Amino acid sequence: MKMNKKKINFRAFGIALIAGCTLVISGCAGSSGGEQPAPKKENQVKKQEKEPKDELQRDKEMRAEMNEKFKDADKVIHQFIVAYFEGDLDILESIFLSGGAGDEKQKGNGRQSLEAQNNGPFDENVDEYYFVRYSSEYDEFEKLYYQTYVYKHGAMAAVSTNVALVKDESGQWKVENYGLSSSEVFPQGIEKHGGTVSTLYFDGEGNLTKND
């Protein structure tokens, strides 16, 4: 009877030992599993912090690409802004698309309006000007759309003109249309869905001061 009691005690001890080991192993596994989400959360935060920077960099590179691609068109816009302000009909005639909507306006009431404005030399009477270019529309409409803003000396508000450029048969950029109202020049929704929008700022002498 004593031997049977020892066997029983030995079995009970073995069972208790196995149960204890199982608890220890489970505890280690649970502790290890609980630490795993922490680095994942940290990596996710780092990824979220990095993404806006990447997006800003991509936008900057895209705008730089568009500035290079359309630099010749921007030169025509500069000519238009200065000539329109000064009422230089010869320059305007040279940059308008023959037979275009802008050309027709210029031959009508536009000529009289420009002759009457008497603004004087651009570089002596303008503090700042800038233009906004909607580049994405070119692929769909084969036109570039601009909003131009000119601040005269001491003026709190800018004089704004909307302009559409196209290439003529020889591949030269020309003013196809212009107007004070965007609805008569721009396709619907362009100001909301303009794609790569570039804004370039200049002083009165035409020096680039800021590029957004």
Give the pLDDT confidence of 56-67 residue by residue, as tens digits: 787 778 778 888
Q: pLDDT class for 204, splitting at 50, 70, 90?
A: confident
Q: Please name the residue that has the structure tokens 């936008």.
A: 59
Boundaries of every domain in the chain:
70-211
Give me the chain's average pLDDT, please: 76
Q: What is residue 116's predicted lDDT score, i.e. its pLDDT?
A: 73
Domain 70-211 sits in CATH 3.40.50: no
Q: What is residue 29's predicted lDDT score, i.e. its pLDDT?
A: 47
Q: pLDDT class for 196, splitting at 50, 70, 90?
A: low
- Predicted TM-score (pTM) of the model is 0.69
Q: What is residue 211's predicted lDDT score, i.e. its pLDDT?
A: 78
8-18 tens-digit pLDDT: 454 554 555 55
The DSSP line for the chain is -HHHHHHHHHHHHHHHHHHHHHHHHHHHHHHHHHHTHHHHHHHHHHHHHHHHHHHHHHHHHHHHHHHHHTHHHHHHHHHHHHHHHHT-HHHHHHHBPTTSHHHHHIIIIIHHHHHHH----HHHHEEEEEEEEETTHHHHHS-EEEEEEEEETT-SS-EEEEEEEEE-TTS-EEEEEEESSGGGTSPTTTTTS-SSEEEEEEETTS-EEEE-
Of the listed ranges 95-104, 136-145, 189-198, the least confidently predicted one is 189-198
17-29 tens-digit pLDDT: 555 555 444 554 4
111-127 tens-digit pLDDT: 777 777 778 899 999 99
What is the mean pLDDT of the segment spanning 84-97?
Answer: 92
Q: Is the pLDDT of residue 78 over 90?
A: yes
Angle at 39 between CA 34 and CA 45, to 5 degrees: 130
